[in-house]
């Protein structure tokens, strides 16, 4: 029952957020913070044994499916500098700053905190960027960073934790573990991606294909973790490959898969952000000796400032230093200004992965002593996550509006779409002529004309969006066409239902007829969304 309550409430809040200017993640966190102290609301303790293997893989999978492999590859330098270089830098910088800020905190425990809060959250970055309409290159960099940085942070955390609990980890051992986890995770992904895609193409039943799709991220994560490699990287590699080759899977699977993963992502993202806010009582009860006094608040503010500062200290040199050293980079990226790194630097929201890793810190070290300041580390992690989500999340939209970053030109996007559709329609036209020239494909002239009319309709639909609008309704010809088509479909649907009610057709026949109409209406709706 508590799980159902969490899913239902978080979905309702996320749905309500669509009617407000506040991004859904921020509203969910705020409601979670308030709900945590409402009488009757159960305690929701974040279990890293659930978040990392059960929630993280599907969230990463759906984010990678929606990402562009080609765009990430084209921006591999900034993505790698952020997802690997920045995370390691933030681990050391924030860890050492915390060591200086908190009296008596061992450096090893401070580095554990640095690794915990180092990675910006994949869900937060994707959700905020999607709503803000950032320039495509900035969105690609943020998405690419968020797909990989968890693997870097988890490995850095394991190395720092080994030193903190007394396993005597060295820098050489840490580097070796990082290399093995990275190479192993990528290797597992490379091994799995081709046979999984082959299986997806061979399965002819969309229900089975989508069942396989839901299992893939968990299988990839588990397989990599089994050999002590990075499950995060395995999931990302497989998902990027499957997304890049999704066109090879039949249309029914793509339609169902898109709907299924949208639902999964919506439920998980909503629940994850609500869970963040609901952790407040758990964290406060464990604060113990530090209490919520002036010292704890000062530590939290200072660590938050260190996290924000460390990102800017890394982002600006990582943006402009390669340009200063390489003429080739300057030629390839001539329009880079200070605005893009400012946005990337301010978009470093932390999320549920940081909290999940923090909750996995053991209570005692190897010699049986309490882990130094574990409760304070949990509180500082929680404060940093809330601070970045609220402060940066709320101020990022006005910052972007103030900077007036160049948004994609809708006319240019429509023109590119129209040109692509025109070339594809020309190829389809030639193919139809070749097929009709064969006696085995003989069709009555009205049916052949119908095929050409459908093709011509697709060719003209995009161009019409660039044309004049109806003076009375303000619609383009294409808009009017879609509206009338949907009105006609609605009329047909009413007749089918009345025939079923009159027992002239049965429910099975009704479902078949309605499905055909639903597919036609879905096609019209998708075209309207694209417009």
The pair of three-digit structure tokens given for residue 9, joined into one six-digit string: 């409430």
Banded pLDDT at 254 (limits 50, 70, 90) = confident
Q: Which of 185-194, 296-305, 448-457 has the lowest mean pLDDT?
A: 448-457
Task: Quick: pLDDT tens for 70-82.
Answer: 889 989 999 999 9
Banded pLDDT at 265 (limits 50, 70, 90) = confident
Banded pLDDT at 450 (limits 50, 70, 90) = confident
Predicted pLDDT of residue 443: 83
Which sign does the torsion angle of CA 226, 229, 235, 238 carry? negative
Predicted pLDDT of residue 237: 95
Banded pLDDT at 128 (limits 50, 70, 90) = low
Mean pLDDT along residues 456-485? 70
Task: Quick: pLDDT tens for 398-435.
Answer: 888 888 877 666 667 777 777 877 888 788 888 888 88
CA gap 266, 161 in Å, rounded: 33
Banded pLDDT at 440 (limits 50, 70, 90) = confident
CA gap 405, 402 in Å, rounded: 8
CA gap 118, 242 in Å, rounded: 29
pTM metric for this prediction? 0.85
Burial label, 432 (beta-carbon count in 10 A; 0-12, 13-18, 19+): middle
**Entry field: residues in the chain:** 531
Burial label, 181 (beta-carbon count in 10 A; 0-12, 13-18, 19+): buried
Task: Quick: pLDDT tens for 279-297.
Answer: 888 787 766 666 656 678 8
First to last CA, the chain: 42
């Amino acid at each position: 029952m508590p799980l159902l309550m969490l899913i239902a409430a978080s979905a309702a809040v996320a749905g309500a957020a669509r009617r407000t200017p506040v991004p859904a993640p921020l509203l969910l966190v705020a409601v979670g913070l308030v709900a945590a102290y409402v009488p009757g609301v159960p305690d929701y303790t974040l279990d890293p044994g659930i978040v990392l293997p059960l929630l993280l893989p599907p969230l990463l999978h759906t984010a990678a499916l929606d990402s562009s492999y080609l765009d990430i590859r084209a921006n591999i330098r900034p993505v790698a500098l952020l997802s690997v270089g920045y995370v390691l830098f933030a681990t050391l910088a924030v860890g050492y700053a915390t060591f200086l800020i908190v009296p008596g905190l061992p450096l090893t425990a401070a580095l554990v905190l640095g690794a915990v809060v180092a990675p910006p959250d994949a869900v937060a970055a994707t959700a905020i960027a999607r709503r803000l309409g950032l320039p495509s290159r900035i969105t690609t960099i943020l998405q690419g960073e968020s797909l990989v940085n968890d693997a870097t942070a988890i490995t850095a955390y394991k190395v720092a934790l080994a030193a903190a609990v007394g396993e005597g980890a060295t820098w050489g051992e840490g580097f070796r573990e990082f290399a093995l986890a990275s190479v192993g995770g990528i290797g597992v992904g490379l091994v799995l991606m081709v046979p999984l895609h082959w299986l997806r193409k061979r399965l002819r039943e969309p229900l089975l294909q989508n069942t396989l799709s839901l299992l893939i991220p968990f299988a990839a994560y588990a397989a990599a973790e089994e050999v002590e490699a990075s499950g995060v990287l395995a999931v990302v590699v497989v998902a990027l490959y499957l997304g890049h080759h999704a066109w090879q899977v039949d249309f029914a699977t793509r339609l169902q898969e898109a709907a299924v993963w949208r639902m999964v992502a919506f439920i998980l993202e909503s629940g994850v952000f609500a869970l963040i806010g609901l952790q407040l009582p758990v964290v406060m009860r464990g604060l113990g000796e530090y209490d919520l006094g002036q010292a704890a608040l000062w530590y939290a503010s200072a660590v938050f400032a260190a996290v924000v500062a460390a990102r800017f200290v890394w982002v600006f040199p990582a943006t402009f230093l390669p340009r200063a050293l390489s003429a080739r980079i300057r030629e390839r990226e001539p329009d880079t200004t200070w605005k893009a790194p400012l946005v990337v630097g301010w978009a470093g929201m932390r999320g549920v992965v940081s909290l999940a890793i923090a909750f996995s810190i053991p209570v005692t070290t190897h010699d049986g002593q309490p882990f130094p300041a574990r409760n304070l580390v949990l509180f500082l992690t929680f404060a940093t996550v809330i601070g970045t989500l609220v402060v940066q999340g709320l101020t990022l939209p006005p910052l972007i509006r103030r900077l007036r970053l160049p948004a994609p030109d809708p006319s240019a996007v429509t023109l590119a779409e129209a040109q692509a559709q025109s070339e594809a329609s020309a190829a389809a036209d030639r193919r139809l002529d070749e097929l009709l020239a064969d006696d085995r494909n003989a069709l009555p002239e009205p049916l052949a004309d119908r095929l050409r009319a459908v093709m011509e309709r697709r060719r003209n639909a995009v161009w019409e969006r660039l044309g004049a609008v109806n003076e009375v309704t303000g619609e383009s010809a294409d808009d009017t066409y879609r509206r009338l088509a949907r009105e006609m479909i609605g009329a047909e649907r009413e007749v089918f239902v009345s025939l079923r009610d009159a027992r002239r057709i049965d429910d099975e026949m009704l479902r078949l007829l309605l499905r055909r109409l639903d597919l036609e209406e879905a096609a019209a709706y998708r075209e309207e969304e694209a417009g």
